Amino acid sequence: MNFNHDKIERNLGILLILTMLAISAGGLVEIVPLFFIKETVEKVEGVRPYSALELRGRDIYIREGCYTCHSQMIRPFRDEALRYGHYSLAAESKYDHPFQWGSKRTGPDLARVGGKYSNDWHTQHLTAPRSLVPQSVMPNYPWLATTALDYSDIEKRMMALRTTGVPYSKTNAEYERNVKEFGETVAKSLHIPDAEKNLIAQAQLGNYDTNPDNITEMDALVAYLQMLGTLVDFKKYDDDYFVKFR
């Protein structure tokens, strides 16, 4: 039988299968090894999954499309280090699904924005950026501070991430495992049955939107922004410690 161009091009089924085979060969060679390379994920202390409130904030960040203008990936270049701080580590986004690295920077990188400004500043800036930075092209997000945060499905959101391997705990055994790995305070914040209680407590204590009376979407988003890039204490490592992972 002669199996030639003619046959393939006239037979839709074969064409489809062969096209998929050709494309996935490239994909497999590039992607599969990444699941096995452990040496490139830096061994650092401090990285933990998001608390319930931060997680809701992250979901709002994605919902509002902040990533269309902001990256969260400081590359190992001199000018980036001078402006944004230490370059981002793979380990710092190991619990991010999907990660927010991005490549579009209409606004500045946000990977280490945590602690740089006050809660008050973030609330005002998100509501009306031009009131603080006159030349800004960032849109106003006035509804964040007036919309009550919907956290009725927070447990489901954490369960979904648990399925992808994020160590949120559901059972006591899982909780104990987290106590060993992250310490008690963090382990408590990762416990799914307490999610709602923890979320309310963090929002009230932190008072991120500078209005103590209610829990708004602003509380969640600012809680998220204020922890970005703050988990790893770089003073604990030689400044070339991370070289060996590349």
Partner 1 sequence: MSEEKVKGPTTTGHVWDDDLQELTNPLPRWWIWGFYITFVFTVVYWLFYPAWPIGSGFTKGVPGLNSITYTATTVDGKEVEKTTHWNMRSKYMVEMNELHAAQKQWFDKVAATPYEDVAKDADLMQFVNSAGKTLFSDNCAPCHQAGGQGKIGFSPNLTDDHWQYGGTYEEISHTIVAGRQGYMPPFKEVLKDEQIGQLANYVLSMSGEPHDAAAATAGAALFQSETAACYYCHGADAKGRTQMGSANLTDKIWLWADIPAEKTAEAKVDAVKKIISGGLARGVMPYWNERLKPEQIKLLTVYVHDGLGGGK
Question: Cis peptide leading into 98, omega within 30 of 0?
Answer: yes
Rounded Cα distance, 92 and 221, in Å:
19
Contacts to partner 1 from residues 135-194, by CB under 8 A: none
Tell me if 69 contacts ligand HEC by CB under 6 A. yes
Q: Which stretch binds partner 1 (CB under 8 A): 61-69, 82-90, 170-178, 215-223?
A: 82-90
Cα separation of the two ends of the chain: 51
Rounded Cα distance, 100 and 226, in Å:
16
DSSP state string for 167-202:
--B-SHHHHHHHHHHH-HHHHHHTBGGGHHHHHHHH
Tell me if 95 contacts ligand HEC by CB under 6 A. no
Q: Look up residue 166 and give its two tokens.
A: 């994020």
Residue 59 C-beta: closest distance to ligand HEC, Å: 12
Contacts to ligand HEC from residues 104-143, by CB under 6 A: 106-108, 110, 113, 116-118, 121, 126, 129, 133, 136-139, 141
Binding-site size for partner 1 (CB under 8 A) equals 43
Considering the complex, state which of residue 41 and residue 160 has its C-beta at the smaller distance from partner 1.
41
DSSP state string for 47-59:
--PPPHHHHHHHH
Residue 161 C-beta: closest distance to ligand HEC, Å: 20
Rounded Cα distance, 62 and 34, in Å:
25
Contacts to ligand HEC from residues 180-219, by CB under 6 A: none
When binding is defined by CB under 8 A, the residue of 3, 36, 152, 185 that contacts partner 1 is 36
Residue 227 C-beta: closest distance to ligand HEC, Å: 12
Tell me if 41 contacts ligand HEC by CB under 6 A. no
Partners of residue 216 on adjacent β-strands: 148
For residue 196, give the nearest of 176, 172, 215 by alpha carbon. Answer: 215
* Interaction partner, residue 139 (partner 1, ligand HEC, none; CB < 5-8 Å by kind): ligand HEC
Q: Look up residue 145 and give its two tokens.
A: 């501070």
Residue 38 C-beta: closest distance to ligand HEC, Å: 33
Give the residues lining the site for partner 1 (CB under 8 A).
Answer: 4-6, 9, 33-34, 36-40, 75-78, 81-83, 85, 87, 115-121, 124-125, 132-133, 210, 235-240, 242-246
